[in-house]
Amino acid sequence: MAIYRRYGGKQALFETVLFEQIRQLEALASAIRNDAGDPLTELRVTARAYLEFMISPTAVDLQRILIAEGSRLSTLSQQVAPPLPQLLGERLDQLIGHAQQAGQLIEMPGALLREILLRLIAEGPRWEMLMGQKAWTADDIEQHFQKMWPMFLKIAAV
């Protein structure tokens, strides 16, 4: 019960843990700087980092808690329902825009291209982790990404 004295309750404790994880993802997003001058290469590196984070044990555990406690912590669920911290979303949108300007990606709303990319690379592995169906190894992640990135390019590349 000492932990509740420090945090005041379950929701405050959960918010502290959750927002720390979001802060770590935002730090990861800002640290991903592959300034090769090629926006598509930078987009690939950023998308790969997003996949690794979303299926990390801590991120999966937090997603499970948010799903389980969503009805009781509805205000918190609404605040963090978008699983993509703002900084990472802005970085992906920026890279997609640069790739479009460079003639590498088709002209369509960047947010839609971001959604397509993230669903292709992360939703299958994330769902399997959430359901406890599979523990993803580094090799599994690499093989999955090597299949999904070309699929994204088939959809979005010029």
- Please report, for the chain, the start and end positions of each structural domain, with discontinuous segments joined by +: 2-156
Q: Beta partners for 157?
A: 105
> In this predicted model, what pLDDT tens digit does every residue of 113-150 receive, in sequence order?
999 999 999 999 999 999 998 889 999 999 999 999 99
> In this predicted model, what pLDDT tens digit does every residue of 67-122 receive, in sequence order?
777 676 666 555 554 455 666 778 889 999 999 999 999 999 999 999 999 999 99
Q: What does the block give as tokens for 34?
A: 């592959």
User: Looking at per-residue confidence, does 156 or 64 come out higher?
Assistant: 156
**Among 4-8, 11-15, 34-38, 72-76, the least confident range:** 72-76
Which CATH code is given to the segment(s) 2-156? 1.10.357.10
- The pTM assigned to this predicted structure is 0.78
What pLDDT score does 81 carry? 46
The span from the CA of 120 to the CA of 153, in Å, is 11
Please choose, from the candidates 88, 93, 84, 91, the residue with its C-alpha nearest in 3D space to the C-alpha of residue 112. 93
What pLDDT score does 15 carry? 75
Residue 109 in contact with residue 89, Cβ under 8 Å? no
